[in-house]
Structure 1
Amino acid sequence: MRSMKRHFAETNRSSAMAENITEDIIIDILSRLPVKSLMRFKCVSKRWWSLISDQHFVKLHLQRLILENMTPSQKIIRSNPLQTIDYEALDNDEVNDHVVVESHDLGRDEPWGLAGSCHGLVSLAVDDGFLVYNPTTKESRKLPGSNLVAEHEFFHGFGYNSATDDYKIVHGAFFTANDGSKECGLEIFSLRSGSWRRVLSQDVPKLDGVGIYLNGAVHWIVNHGSGNRINQAIIPFGLATETFEEAIPIPKVEGIVF
């Protein structure tokens, strides 16, 4: 009987302490947790579901991940079909390959290529447009297709503009003009506005493939020259200015090929 009374007393004290914890403290604690834990904690209560889903909390959590360099543990190993590998699971000796490598069912929007990645999100090129997908939460957003149409020579990029709190997709294509010269069309999709916009840019470097996002810009490696005189450089595209920035030469290191 005494043990039962003690149990109820301890339970009541714990409930009282929980009610006295301010929402600021809860937010501070939750913002330090990985995304997988937050997905489970959404089921604790309606209050926590609303709190964790709030855009201000999402932004705070992202800022803390970047500040503390807590990158998501899932990495893409294939884009068609989409598969990811969980590095955290590799540390567990009891897991098998089926747990470490996860296949993602995107329904009818199966990707044919990766368009970029940023902050744990990936942009995937699909037949009729693009898809932004979160491999951890399994949430996705279908985007309309660009107006650029070309048979070959596409280049893509995906990144974040902190000045406007906006994610952007860079989509470019090279065309052969009537005189035989190469022309480039360049469009930007803003997730905030939900629309494509044509960007006028002169002297677009000969880009190819998927750019890498870093520090507010998408970067591609380009080759200059021919034969044994090929020099490589990194070409950044600033997402805030939406312009190509000055090329960054890649120094040659003996015995290393980039």
Structure 2
Amino acid sequence: MRKDNLRGVRSVFLPQELIIEILLRLPVKSLVRFKCVCKLWLSLISDPHFAISHFEQAAIHNERLVLLAPCAREFRSIDFNASLHDNSASAALKLDFLPPKPYYVRILGSCRGFVLLDCCQSLHVWNPSTGVHKQVPRSPIVSDMDVRFFTFLYGFGYDPSTHDYLVVQASNNPSSDDYATRVEFFSLRANAWKEIEGIHLSYMNYFHDVRVGSLLNGALHWITCRYDLLIHVVVVFDLMERSFSEIPLPVDFDIEYFYDYNFCQLGILGECLSICVVGYYCSTEIWVMKEYKVQSSWTKTIVVCVDDIPNRYFSQVCCTKSGDIVGITGTTGLVKCNDKGQLQEHRSYCNGPKGYQVTVYTESLLSLPSGSKLEE
């Protein structure tokens, strides 16, 4: 526009309250960029109260996937509601705080925009949207245990009553007679580990594998075996009460059959607890608990045909807003199937002998509790 055309144009000044209302309705990616606009916007967007208000506006929640391709040592953020072939919906993530060539990285869950990572037996809490991160010190309780103790359950969640994030882990000695389970949690607000005493649990995993907790309704959930009764159950840890309970599996669910030929994976589908029975070279079954903690509400909702899926393997991750099911195919990438279990899309991100790891996270500007020393 020519200068002479600018004559008579008046500047418009918006009240700060209106600016805040506008900013609260923008996505995180835009807000991170807009910190550079001016000192006022930097101050507003960096304010923890603004971050909380922004996160609590459910209308702007944007869920994405963090995908780890171990063969490439690459992390990616993916909008799973977009087409898998849309390059603009995927972006590489930098994790400069990890060793340049870590021996092994494992995703152990996500909560309120933060992702829990395990790298070389060192835990890290990380916000993929802002890059803020914190290393969780190694548990002195586990360090003092007999070396035969094995940590087989991990979880990461939020206690709204104390505004605190908790890293939960359960360990036992597979060589013992009773598989007595010890549970401890790390409070990011207190910056300390604490063991939950006075519990009498006896859980085990047949294959001595590590299970990652599924976060729903303020509680962490794992599928595991009760050693004393030799039955499989869903174990529930209430993050506010610091207490355990159990949810029975479907009545017609033959867990022994599935352990012989397949494996079971607990997850969240929509707003419901789900079990994905992953078959090797055969169909994958997805069961959903339509009414929380009601055993009779378990329903086999989807059977995914793997005939057209690379490696003939499918493991559920999440569902899109349109109802498609997103999953991983082991070593070949991500897959989308419709609600009838039919293949819609497939995309590979790298080729290698090890499988992908993924978790769903919500974009946020949130910071960790003030008791935590953050790094950026």
Matched residue, 1:163: 161
Superposed displacement of residue 195, structure 1: 1.5
- Paired with 1:184 and 1:47, the residues of 2 have a C-alpha distance of 52
Superposed displacement of residue 5, structure 1: 4.3
**AA at the equivalent of 1:72:** E
Matched residue, 1:9: 8
Matched residue, 1:73: 64
| Residues 1:172 and 1:116: Cα distance change in structure 2 (over 3 Å) | same
**AA at the equivalent of 2:90:** V
Q: In the alignment, which of 211, 214, 217 is matched to residue 213 of structure 2?
A: 211
Superposed displacement of residue 201, structure 1: 4.5
- Paired with 1:28 and 1:5, the residues of 2 have a C-alpha distance of 34
Q: In the alignment, which of 98, 112, 119 is matched to residue 119 of structure 1?
A: 112
Matched residue, 2:92: 102
Q: Which has the higher contact order (CA 8 A, sep 6+)?
A: 2
- Paired with 1:164 and 1:120, the residues of 2 have a C-alpha distance of 18
Q: Is the 8 A contact 1:77 1:83 kept in 2?
A: yes
**AA at the equivalent of 1:41:** F
In the alignment, structure 2 segments of 5+ residues that lack a partner are 205-209, 254-283, 288-376
- Paired with 1:88 and 1:43, the residues of 2 have a C-alpha distance of 29
Which structure 1 residue ranges, 4+ long, deviate > 4 Å from structure 2?
A: 77-80, 88-94, 229-232, 252-255
| Residues 1:187 and 1:224: Cα distance change in structure 2 (over 3 Å) | closer
| Residues 1:55 and 1:9: Cα distance change in structure 2 (over 3 Å) | same
Counterpart of 2:50 in 1: which secondary structure? Answer: helix
When normalised by structure 2's length, the TM-score is 0.56
Matched residue, 1:51: 44
Deviation by residue 1:165-212 (Cα, 9 ceiling, x = unmatched) = 1111112211258x6332222221111121111211412252651101
Decide which structure has greater helix share: 1
- Paired with 1:236 and 1:69, the residues of 2 have a C-alpha distance of 30
1:198 matched to 2:195? The reply is yes
| Residues 1:4 and 1:103: Cα distance change in structure 2 (over 3 Å) | closer
Counterpart of 1:36 in 2: which secondary structure? Answer: helix
Superposed displacement of residue 32, structure 1: 2.0
**AA at the equivalent of 1:157:** G
Query: Identity across aligned pairs (percent)?
Result: 29
* Pairwise CA RMSD: 3.4
Q: In the alignment, which of 165, 177, 180 is matched to residue 177 of structure 2?
A: 180
**AA at the equivalent of 1:23:** Q
Counterpart of 2:180 in 1: which secondary structure? Answer: strand
Matches within 5 A, 1:20-31: 21-31=14-24
- Paired with 2:70 and 2:45, the residues of 1 have a C-alpha distance of 29
Matched residue, 2:76: 84
Matches within 5 A, 1:238-257: 238-244=238-244, 246-252=245-251, 256=285
Size of the aligned set, in residue pairs, is: 243
- Paired with 1:180 and 1:219, the residues of 2 have a C-alpha distance of 25
Superposed displacement of residue 117, structure 1: 0.8
**AA at the equivalent of 1:212:** S
Deviation by residue 1:92-148 (Cα, 9 ceiling, x = unmatched) = 97738xx73625434444463222211221011233531001122222111211121
1:133 matched to 2:142? The reply is no
Q: Is the 8 A contact 1:128 1:144 kept in 2?
A: no
**AA at the equivalent of 1:127:** C
